[in-house]
Structure 1
Amino acid sequence: MKAVPKVNTDGLYLEDTLVDDAFSGVVPFYAEIEPEPPADPEESEQEADEQPEEEAPEPEIAGYIVGVPVKPGLFLPRFDLDGWEAYRDAVDAALSEFQQAYGEWAALPEEERGEPPIYVAPVQPTLWIEGLTPEEIEEITRPQPQEPSEVDLLKERLAAAEARNEQLAEESTINQFALMELHMMILEMKEGGGPV
């Protein structure tokens, strides 16, 4: 088993799915058809008896399973379904041309044949392309402002608390000096015999 990409009908990558190791090419997968429940079960039984059996609705293609590996480095891989069809047409044409040339070669007498024709398959084009516009890629690759982590928030709070502690320590020192001066003034007044 191997994982291969599934794409929607526009060729945009959906997810990977498991397939047999020998799988190659492109095959469709279909949307599930949900039967409509009858409005009234008794009516549906009567209608079924009266009407002939209806044909099942034709399944709708929901996307494709792609046996071509995804080219790395794409933000939103898109498989070129039209390019795949053109490539398959080129392969069929090259094979038909080879079979015709081989048939003509085989029809010649052995002494006139020469070297048999060689089948040369067309080169497979790059079928996986970028599904996003350059503007969309720029938007998702632009550095985003990061929200601060809990550690960063705690560091900020700690720095703010330390700054506040320093401020309170300075105010406390100033208050102590003011209290000492007041105390000295009171002592001087007592010693000087002034009113206390």
Structure 2
Amino acid sequence: MKAAPKVNIDGLYIEDTLVDDTFSGIVPFYSHTEQGTLDSLTKTQGMTTELDEPSNEPESNISGYIIGIPVTPGLYQPRFDMAAWNGYQATISVAQDSFQQALSGWHTLPEEQRGDKPVVESPPQPTLWIEGLTQEEIEELTSPQPQEPNEVDRLGSEMVARELEAMELRQQNEAQGAQIVGLELRLLSLENS
């Protein structure tokens, strides 16, 4: 089993889903709506429908696709380019038709005139996963956002502020202590004189 991306009908990535290891290509997935429920609702509200018999068969609507091609890393909102995929499939079909014609022509030639057997020339695969966001949306996502400080940061800032206040008070205390010592020394020197 491997993970394959699921996309909505616009090609925007939804989530990964598990598929068989051999899965490749694109497969639609469906959502079901209950038609019978709608019919019974219209009858209870006094409305009539064009159908004589209510249908209890669920309707299937394509909801998106499972993609057998891994998402290109580095995209903010990956989007699968369905138009590029359809164009690529058409190119592959043309290449296979050309190969079949060349191979048929090769088989019709006598063995001594055949030359090398034709080979399929597969076209290069285009970039199928593209960015689904505009440049403005990407800039908005990646711009730095002002963050509110959390409790730990706030307490840390308060603690630093208190330590700075305590250091300032110690310095003032030491300065005043030095002044007192200086005054006491002057008093002693005056008493001794």
**Pair in the same fold by TM > 0.5:** yes
Work out the CA distance in 2 between the residues paired with 1:54 and 1:39: 12
Partner of 1:33: 33
Query: Is 1:7 paired with 2:7?
Result: yes
The verdict on how the C-alpha distance between 1:112 and 1:167 changes in structure 2, with shifts beyond 3 A counting, is closer
Partner of 2:18: 18
Which amino acid is 2:134 matched to? T
Could you say what secondary structure the match of 2:145 adopts? coil
Structure number with higher strand proportion: 2
Q: Deviations over 1:88-107 (max 9, x none)?
A: 01001100110011011101
Deviation at 1:132, TM superposition (A): 0.7
Work out the CA distance in 1 between the residues paired with 2:139 and 2:17: 30
Work out the CA distance in 2 between the residues paired with 1:76 and 1:28: 20
Q: Is the 8 A contact 2:9 2:62 kept in 1?
A: yes
Work out the CA distance in 2 between the residues paired with 1:126 and 1:137: 20
Specify the structure having the higher radius of gyration (Cα): 1
TM alignment of 1:108-119, pairs within 5 A:
108-119=109-120
TM alignment of 1:78-117, pairs within 5 A:
78-117=79-118
Which amino acid is 2:8 matched to? N
Could you say what secondary structure the match of 1:33 adopts? strand
Q: Deviations over 1:17-72 (max 9, x none)?
A: 0100000001111112235173599x8xxxxxxx4463846421111100011111
Name stretches of at least 5 consecutive residues in structure 1 with no aligned partner: 44-50, 171-196
Deviation at 1:156, TM superposition (A): 3.1
Query: Is 1:142 paired with 2:176?
Result: no
The verdict on how the C-alpha distance between 1:145 and 1:118 changes in structure 2, with shifts beyond 3 A counting, is same
The verdict on how the C-alpha distance between 1:152 and 1:53 changes in structure 2, with shifts beyond 3 A counting, is closer
Which amino acid is 2:119 matched to? I
Q: Deviations over 1:149-178 (max 9, x none)?
A: 2122112333555677799998xxxxxxxx
RMSD (Å), alpha carbons? 2.9
